[in-house]
Amino acid sequence: MGHIAFVTGGTGYIGSHVLIILLEAGYDVICLHYSDIHVASQCFNRVEEITGKKIKRYKGNLVNEASVRMVFEENKIHTVFHLAALKAVSESVQKPLEYYNNNVTGTLNLLKIMNEYKVNHLVFSSSATVYGSVENCAQTGIIEEQPTNPINPYGQTKAMVEQILRDLHISKPDMNIAVLRYFNPVGAHPSGKIGEDPKGIPNNLVPFILQVATGLRQRLYIYGDDYETRDGTGMRDYVHVMDLARGHLLADRFLEERKGVYEIFNLGSGKGTTVFEIMRAIEDASGKKIPYEVAPRRSGDVGLYIADSSKAHRLLSWTPQLSLTDIDTLEDRDTVL
Ligand code: WQD
């Protein structure tokens, strides 16, 4: 009987890849899904097909305490991997209350119930957006000690939860908490059975470009070409979703070896890539020209983010194995070129 992992957000883009990594590492995995039963089943069925393992499924969501309590009542959870969150920067500017309720209240409910059932291991999905704008990070990369300064409600919710976890750890020193600050996840599992499959118009760059390449969208709108970057377009630190998912397993192993830690880790490649460079990489990989138009900057956006992930390398033995060239082959087959 392996460790029992409770994964919130398991039907999400990163969550579904974390399920694969945990199942393949021998965990028994439990998921709470609020989404439409068919969408959730499709995702869980694909993960079960890929791994040959079963996921124990519960319907509910973190703002419904009773549904969360049932998971803990019926299972001896060892580690919670908390990935469930609303995560679109621009949407969070339009709907802050929805973001605070879902991302913060939902987490408070989860933590309360974890404490009731004395579950002390938590791996929390945070984000580089907690940093806000960071001067000259192109040279050195952002370190975890950089003060957080989120400039949009989404980033605020992540920074707030990090603070809640820090305060909880002070009050309960036997809590073992790893906070993972994701930079920009891209790519998909090599099977092509799961990937980034956003509902409606994709917020994120890579799925949007892929939909232009497959003719689903007319053209790419580039949000600003006057940033202080190589070619003026926004620069990000793209990291393969399989590498990101593996970081969760390594974080839990790190917690296993220690008592009473609260540690934050950047998970990024340490390399910056601009919008134009991503677009050209996908044009080269697909042989398709991507029509584009330069549009005004997007609210909540910063010019560039690049991670210094040396702490994850040092303490988790985590280093990215996959690169941007792996994107085109690893997106969901439904949208693959
Ligand atoms: C990347 C670059 C855009 C779309 C990240 C995560 C997101 C969330 C917040 C998760 C930027 C430009 C994009 C488009 C464009 N956190 N762009 N046209 O904003 O860094 O968001 O942090 O933990 O999930 O991805 O990623 O992919 O939206 O944008 O020009 O149609 O591409 O301005 O410079 P972002 P993104």
pLDDT at 327: 64
Quick one: which of 169, 147, 188 has its CA closest to 260?
169
pLDDT at 328: 52
Homologous superfamily (CATH) of 4-188+238-269 is NAD(P)-binding Rossmann-like Domain (3.40.50.720)
- Report how far residue 268's alpha carbon sits from residue 302's, in angstroms, rounded to the nearest whole number: 17
Say what the pTM is.
0.93
CB of 222 shorter than 6 A to ligand 1? yes
pLDDT in tens, 83-134: 999 998 888 999 999 999 999 999 999 999 999 999 999 999 999 999 998 8
CA of 128 to the centre of ligand 1 (A): 11
- Report how far residue 268's alpha carbon sits from residue 290's, in angstroms, rounded to the nearest whole number: 26
Contact 269, 312 (CB under 8 A): no
- Report how far residue 261's alpha carbon sits from residue 296's, in angstroms, rounded to the nearest whole number: 43
Q: Which atom of ligand 1 is nearest to the CA of 227?
A: 34
pLDDT in tens, 206-264: 999 999 999 999 999 999 999 999 999 999 999 999 999 999 999 999 999 998 999 99
pLDDT in tens, 125-184: 999 999 998 877 877 899 999 999 999 999 999 999 999 999 999 999 999 999 999 999
Mutate to test the pocket of ligand 1, among 204, 212, 219, 235 (most ligand atoms within 8 A of CB): 204
Can 154 be counted among the known catalytic residues? yes
- Report how far residue 269's alpha carbon sits from residue 62's, in angstroms, rounded to the nearest whole number: 31
* pLDDT for residue 333 is more than 50: no
* pLDDT for residue 1 is more than 60: no
- Report how far residue 332's alpha carbon sits from residue 334's, in angstroms, rounded to the nearest whole number: 5
Mutate to test the pocket of ligand 1, among 220, 275, 305 (most ligand atoms within 8 A of CB): 275
CB of 273 shorter than 6 A to ligand 1? no
